[in-house]
Chains A and B, each alone.
Chain A
Amino acid sequence: MTAAGAAGQPLLQVSDLHVEIASRRGIVHAVDGISLEVPAGEAVGLVGESGSGKSMTLKAILGVLPPEAKVTAGSVVLNGTDLVQLSGSQLNKIRGPDIAMIFQEPMSALNPVMRVGAQIAEAPQVHLGMNRRQAADRALELMRRVGIPDPERRFRSFPHEFSGGMRQRVMIAIALSCEPALILCDEPTTALDVTIQDQILRLLHRLCRESGTSLVFVTHDLPVVAQICQQLAVMYAGQIVEQGTVQEVLTRPCHPYTLGLVRSAPDVDHPRASLEAIPGSPPSLISPPDGCRFHPRCKFAEEDCTVTPPPLRLIDAGHSTACLHYERCLDDLQAEGAGR
């Protein structure tokens, strides 16, 4: 089943999603009203640090939230169906053929006592009704596609016999096995070495281009997003604070948090004298700050930032920000550029 969105309609539309977690100290607003559109055939990056809510968002989309978390508002519409409203068994029919997920730790996401070939062949048997022979052929073909060498021999191997990069390829093969229109990626390369990360990113990029699959790619690593995504949404404290094309957002960040992220990572090609750190720590999600959640750490914060939470608004074609004073980011960038 390939991307079947009606002309102009995005494949996935998340609207005002809220996820709450019940904890002993109160209700944690892990995801607090985010809206996201994933066009067919495009990769959307979801960037944020720990506690930003990006992983929860993915899990909410797929319906695999931990038991203490639940979606309290909003909708997740995939090909016209609101996934939030579906029951468990209805969701099971969708997982695999329509939407799949790859995880950060392949060792824990793969069944250690099941042979790799069997794991890849499982979904086609269940969802596509293939018999064992057909599913095995499909698995072999997928293993070739994802670049696992010597697939006939590797088919009968167990996950622990593979390296980290190879396991990630196995996970990608499983995700692709029923040709879903959308794949959710939860930091799939964070645990990998640089050279292997490079291989996996290029592989994903090629596969999605070839089959027109959309991606939602969650990471904390900005350059990784630049490699693989066309669109980018930056999350902070459960909300999206900036959204736009990858190029726009990373070269002309219009939110102080994005600016801080860009500036705090050392650039391998352009070493700076010193890195700009973002002071403070992420806020409590049980009782977040009033007004803009970033204001306690923001160097551009003004009086009005502490009063009302600023909405995400369009400032340019396809570029939105939740900062009331975004022009100061642009001024700051200009000053830096002039100073060089």
Chain B
Amino acid sequence: MSAISITPAAGAPQAGTAERAQPRRAHWYRQPALMTGLVLLAIILFMVIAAPLLTSYNPDTQNLNDTLAGISSQHWLGTDQEGRDIFSRLLYGGRVDLQVAFLAVLFPFTLGTILGSVAGYFGGWVDIVIMRLVDIVVAFPFFVLIIALVFVLGPGERSIYIAITLVGWVSYARIIRGEILIAKRQEYVLAAQSGGLSNLRIMRRHLLPNVITQAIIYAMSDIVQDILAIVTLSYLGLGIQPPTPDWGTMISDGQNFLTTHWQLTTIPGLAVVVTGLALSLIGDGLADLLRPGQA
């Protein structure tokens, strides 16, 4: 080394003896909420993915000789009014609903994050314009707007994606914008700016990784809301179209038999509840995990 007489710092960084040691995050596998949610979701995902292995029935096959059957060894959850096996409809329907929900959350997440970052980082008229857009969307109740959009666009999967994206981005935009407003005041951002790094690079590499966690946590609860939206739309006949099975149409189909064969509606309803619960637990668990300073 050169002639610099530096008092040698203890070379390797000292984790435990930092002057102001930051609290270490709890290990993620020790969070009860998170673990319960993950386990539940894993079970649900396994079941819908492994549907062909778990049931030999085709969800669309009608058997008009064996309608409204109860629970039996042949039909684990019975059959519906057209003789279709409920268990297999549940699993295959779950596939559709979950897939659409997970995808449907991605588009608003991406759009909202981009717009929120731009609004928060640049401020000025960009911020004003984007926030006024947010205000307009927020003025309408979520479900009303989605239903209206799908109605206008015509029912079907594609319309679901478009509608949810156009309505759902605002929450992400607000969250990210708020986080960016705070984060951009941090000195490491000033340091990046003084290092001559471009704004795009700063937003992408320096700011986003630090603010994205809030959006991810929100996305967990957003999936639940999206599942509900899809199920609702399908219930109204505007969403997933028959013959594709899905929980919403199952609920809708079964409501005529609510007093006599309540399982037709209740079972898919329960599936929605349990899935929502799993995702909420994951969201809560993540939020606790990523929130600093919890002993």
Contacts and interface: CB of A to CB of B under 8 A. Distances in A.
Given A24-B26, A24-B295, A279-B7, A50 B20 contact: yes
Contact of B17 (A23, A25, A50, A282): A282
Interface in B31-79: none
Interface in B177-205: none
Contacts of B17: 281-284
Contacts of B8: 279
A51 interface: yes
A129 interface: no
Interface residues of B, number: 13
Contacts of A50: 19-20
Contact of A282 (B7, B19, B23, B26): B19
Contact of A51 (B7, B10, B16, B19): B19
B19 A281 contact: yes
A68 interface: yes
Contacts of A280: 10
A284 B19 contact: no
Interface in A9-35: 23-25
A277 interface: yes
Contacts of A282: 17, 19
Interface string B10-30: 100010111110011010000
Given A24-B26, A281-B14, A68 B295 contact: yes
Nearest to A281: B17
B19 to A, nearest CB: 6
Interface string A41-62: 0000000001100000000000
A277 B7 CA distance: 8
A23 B295 contact: yes
A55 B19 CA distance: 16
A320 to B, nearest CB: 27
A68 B295 CA distance: 10
Contacts of A281: 10, 14, 17-19
B14 to A, nearest CB: 6
A282 B19 CA distance: 7
Interface string A166-210: 000000000000000000000000000000000000000000000
A35 B115 CA distance: 60
A280 B16 CA distance: 13
A284 B10 contact: no
A144 B24 CA distance: 48
A251 B57 CA distance: 92
Contacts of A283: 17
A283 B8 CA distance: 17
Contacts of A68: 295
A11 B20 CA distance: 34
A277 to B, nearest CB: 5
Interface string A279-311: 111111000000000000000000000000000
Interface string A224-248: 0000000000000000000000000
Contacts of B10: 280-281
A82 B19 CA distance: 33
A254 B179 CA distance: 51
Nearest to B9: A279
Contacts of A24: 23-24, 26, 295
A219 to B, nearest CB: 17
B7 A284 contact: no
Contacts of A51: 19-20
A283 B16 CA distance: 9
Interface in A80-135: none
B111 to A, nearest CB: 39
Contacts of B19: 50-51, 281-282
A323 B20 CA distance: 26
Contacts of A279: 7-8
A282 B8 CA distance: 16
A283 B7 CA distance: 18
B16 A284 contact: yes
Contacts of B18: 281
A50 B24 CA distance: 19
A167 B263 CA distance: 68
Contacts of A23: 295
Contacts of A277: 7
A23 B22 CA distance: 13
B54 to A, nearest CB: 42
A214 to B, nearest CB: 31
A271 to B, nearest CB: 18
A247 B289 CA distance: 50
A299 B62 CA distance: 88
A295 to B, nearest CB: 15
A284 B17 CA distance: 6
Nearest to B16: A284
13 contacts: A23-B295, A24-B23, A24-B24, A24-B295, A50-B20, A51-B19, A277-B7, A281-B10, A281-B14, A281-B17, A281-B18, A282-B19, A284-B16
Given A50-B19, A277-B7, A279-B8, 15 more contacts: A24-B23, A24-B24, A25-B24, A51-B19, A51-B20, A279-B7, A280-B10, A281-B14, A281-B17, A281-B19, A282-B17, A282-B19, A283-B17, A284-B16, A284-B17
Interface of A: 23-25, 50-51, 68, 277, 279-284
Interface of B: 7-8, 10, 14, 16-20, 23-24, 26, 295
Interchain residue pairs A-B with the least CB separation, the first 5: A281-B17, A277-B7, A279-B7, A284-B16, A281-B19
